[in-house]
Structure 1
């Protein structure tokens, strides 16, 4: 029997050696059963909640091509943690006449798919809640909930016991000067596109070392995105403004705005970059020149009624 091995890890607490460990114990089982290993597939540092992984996609393509008879993994959760995806994977393998074996569950049947899929879904939901609770506690102490923010540096600190201290950040003075310039130029009447073009012409890199664009500055007022809407610049940390859901069709994460009552707000004056009068001047201009979701209600933009000349 021809067998393909699959291994995956996603946690920061795991490392590349985890892949080799998984392959090693899978090889031992394959040799014990007299199976011929014809391929090895892996996905490193990628979540198991999606099948949009290069390793698993390659495995499924080769299964359809009849390149092996068995898929062998350490556990079903290595293949997928998503209830719908694991069922879909099982159907694809069954159609390709490929059996699934794991060290944890043995030969996979439809019963495993139902029970293990449900358990994995419960695990993901519990993990999400625990992570959310931990981040909330960090925010309430005025620390970062994760992610990068232009104008600040993430501090890599450790306590007396050598444990990593998470959530600490400090103002990046060079980037802070650019943030102040953006706010001042906008308050003085300069268009976001013109501001972005000027920054790019001077070789000043934007967030994530990318180029500046109008959307980088404008973002979305209601969602608090974009340089001109980031309240951290006035020493106000807002967390849980957005929640993220996975689109069941595209499998991509999309954001949804949470009710304001669910936001967690903490004052962090030590992180202020923009003075209040400048912030208010920017907000005043935005109210006159940008289109707000709140102000439009359920209607359509007034310019939508204009007809193209014929």
Structure 2
């Protein structure tokens, strides 16, 4: 093959399984370096990109590709991307074409050791890569089904059983745990509620299946639908039946998360395994009779629940903490504006702070504190000087938050790019897509501002009075805008950057709430509450589309 004129090349490598090792990356880079020399490419170690133990079926959670490689391509740091094969980039046909579109827009050519990847080759690879995944999934499922027919377990450990070393899929009853399983079924059949059962288990010092001191009561019943959250009461293995193919998993193309759905009933596989029986059929039936009676009492008409809309998050979502255990406060009632309570007290009975609080009352008091304290220059100066307190703890917590914020930012950028593609293609209503783009863009600029704050040093510096006054004025504007429209995405994102958490201290019943508001100290005087967001036209242009006066978007390449 005739050598291509010297061009700057970037190398990308990936392996998909935790069972593989970093040597796979080293081997891929070594092979790609050899191919690059043969093709006459220039290499720079700064342009070696990799993702370790990441699946090619999604672009999410792959920072080496979506953040580093695409970012460097957008800065025109190289002319060629060289990969071992196109399946290193993606095994999803749509994602593969999406990546190639980004490369072309940035004037980057995709190569494998065999040469430049043509559009026809990319089309063929897109189909064959997806077909490989389908066939692989089919082979894995077939192998698991065969194990099930042999009376073996094709999955992880189940409470009540132990694995046999050297015998894959073979399980034996763990008598210590089996006694706990029988106790749970017996107590439930006798009328005890899941909360009462887990409270007694904790009192007797019996650890949960995860090893934690506290059991989760939701793990007793789980769900009746057979889709997600299967609790102990629904595990047929306890009565000597191995069940497989009850559920299947799909990946949400919008965020890459894996979701469980009910599988085809015709695919259900149930095999008798008397050697694994822990409870009798009589006890099983008695427990499920109680379950059915309670379900009928809660829904006497047997009505099917109406489809539910996604829960709208409040302005303080994720910010309210329990003062007793430092755990999250979660929604426990959605009536009359909603109420929150300590998650550990509600679900695990591991915290004594069991009182619930009205969300509206907390929100009103927090808004008052924000306006009163964060617009006062003297208060702001005192808080700014306090930045050196508990510095080591703050830096440790900020590092964890920085990692999560970067992941969220990577995910948002990918979602925005796909929305831009949808708007450019014109297949979906433009108004709906633009509304989603505006909300995502508000989140993006807010997270970038948060990352900027988390990256600032910890040295205390004095801030001019004018800076403090301007910051206080911005806070007043934010509170005013939230009062008019609490659902505005830019205002909600700004508030989340400003407030670190709201700590709720226990108070007697019908007594005023005792709240402590903690602002992000690094934000005082430094935070841009309303960082500039891109327009729809700018987002389209950044993703490779030209937006004309007619309102029609076309690709610029």
Note whether the superposition's TM-score is higher than 0.5. yes
115-124 vs 241-250, which moves further: 241-250
148-157 vs 235-244, which moves further: 148-157
Instruction: Give the equivalent residue in structure 2 for 1:111.
Output: 120
Q: Distance in 2 between matches of 1:117 and 1:309?
A: 52
TM-score (norm 1): 0.83
Pairing 1:187–2:189 present = yes
Q: 2:64 aligns with which of 55, 64, 76?
A: 55
Shift of 1:198: 4.4
Pairing 1:176–2:178 present = yes
TM-score (norm 2): 0.48
Q: Distance in 1 between matches of 2:78 and 2:219?
A: 48
| 1:60 counterpart SS class | helix
Q: Distance in 2 between matches of 1:71 and 1:199?
A: 58
Report the aligned-residue RMSD: 2.9
Shift of 1:14: 4.1
Instruction: Give the equivalent residue in structure 2 for 1:160.
Output: none
Pair 1:290–1:63, CA change in 2 (3 A):
farther
Instruction: Give the equivalent residue in structure 2 for 1:36.
Output: 43
Bigger RCO (CA 8 Å, 6+ sep): 1
Q: 2:215 aligns with which of 197, 207, 212?
A: 212
**Unaligned regions of 5+ residues in structure 1, if any?**
158-164, 302-306
Instruction: Give the equivalent residue in structure 1 for 2:155.
Output: 146
Pair 1:254–1:283, CA change in 2 (3 A):
same
| 1:15 counterpart SS class | coil
Shift of 1:29: 2.5
> How many equivalent residue pairs?
296
Quick check: 1:197–1:213 contact (8 Å CA) kept in 2?
Answer: no
Pairing 1:268–2:273 present = yes
112-121 vs 1-10, which moves further: 1-10
Quick check: 1:4–1:41 contact (8 Å CA) kept in 2?
Answer: yes
113-122 vs 200-209, which moves further: 200-209
**Unaligned regions of 5+ residues in structure 2, if any?**
1-6, 308-333, 338-557
Shift of 1:271: 1.1
48-57 vs 18-27, which moves further: 48-57
Instruction: Pick the structure with greater CA Rg.
Output: 2
Pairing 1:222–2:232 present = no
Instruction: Give the equivalent residue in structure 2 for 1:126.
Output: 135
Q: Distance in 2 between matches of 1:64 and 1:169?
A: 53
Shift of 1:254: 2.1
Q: Distance in 1 between matches of 2:53 and 2:142?
A: 23
1-10 vs 58-67, which moves further: 58-67
Quick check: 2:9–2:41 contact (8 Å CA) kept in 1?
Answer: no
| Offset from partner CA, 1:155-213 (integer Å, 9 cap, x none) | 331xxxxxxx4311222333323322322232232222333344456664434445532
Instruction: Give the equivalent residue in structure 2 for 1:94.
Output: 104
Q: Distance in 2 between matches of 1:209 and 1:124?
A: 35
Q: 1:21 aligns with which of 27, 50, 66?
A: 27
